[in-house]
Amino acid sequence: MGGKSEKSARKALKRVRLKTWQLLLILIPLVFITATLFRFDHIKMVELKEAVLAADEAENDEELATALSDLKNFTFSHIIINVVEDNGIQNITFGTGVFYLEHQYIRAATAALEEAEQKLASDENPNGNVFAKANEVCRPQAIANGWTWDNPNYLNCMTGEINKYPTTSELETTIVASIPSTELYRHNYASPLWAPTLSGFALLACLIISVVIFIRFLIWLVLRLAIIFLKNH
């Protein structure tokens, strides 16, 4: 009786082992295909992201809006695996990672500063155009040090110079309130963990095959232990 049971266990073990090897032969090339599809999606995302930055640099708001929409739609509908650097540390994320529309921000900040300059250039101010006076001091420093309009050093210089005038207690608030927040020009589109794309279905197939292989390995292990147990009895 024990010999028949051992023989049946060996036959079952042999069947499981053969099917497992077949699955492994399918899984190995499928993993490479999946990785290649993910690479293609990542390259496409980078191309769309570069188009956004190029439109921003060209100061073409219409093209920029279209490029942003294309990037967002693609990222939201594909699995984008990306490596981003944060304070010298590389992290894996799903999506575009953080990027800024620097040129659009500079244009908005410049317009806001010009508007603030007009507000401060009042004939009723006994100190005259205090904005222009502060700008005469701070602009050379900004050019020498490469400060942009949103640079804290430039803003501190401007507000510090303006505050030297006793009748301008509210001018710092006027300037700071006029400059838009950099968060308005910060973008970070996150992709889904799974999407119904070629790479998504390939990933799903890899996961299913891997789970089946793992289950079959457990079955093989149980059968192996059963054979050892039957031998001893």
Quick: pLDDT tens for 152-175.
788 778 777 777 765 544 555 555
pLDDT for 196 equals 95
Query: 157 and 87, same structural domain?
Result: no
Q: Work out the angle at residue 121's Cα, subtended by the Cα atoms of residues 111 and 164, and round it to the nearest 5 degrees.
A: 100
Query: 127 and 167, same structural domain?
Result: yes
Query: 117 and 91, same structural domain?
Result: no
> CA-CA distance, 80 to 191, in Å (whole number)?
6
Query: 211 and 174, same structural domain?
Result: no
Query: 16 and 87, same structural domain?
Result: yes
Query: 6 and 94, same structural domain?
Result: yes
Number of domain units in the chain: 2
Query: 33 and 62, same structural domain?
Result: yes
pLDDT for 206 equals 95
Query: 192 and 94, same structural domain?
Result: yes
Q: Which residues of the chain have pLDDT under 70?
A: 1-19, 116-130, 149-150, 165-178, 232-233
Which DSSP letter does residue 181 get? P
Query: 176 and 119, same structural domain?
Result: yes
Query: 118 and 159, same structural domain?
Result: yes
Query: 92 and 197, same structural domain?
Result: yes
Domain of 160?
106-184
Taking the alpha carbons at both ends of the chain, their separation in whole angstroms is 11
> CA-CA distance, 204 to 116, in Å (whole number)?
56
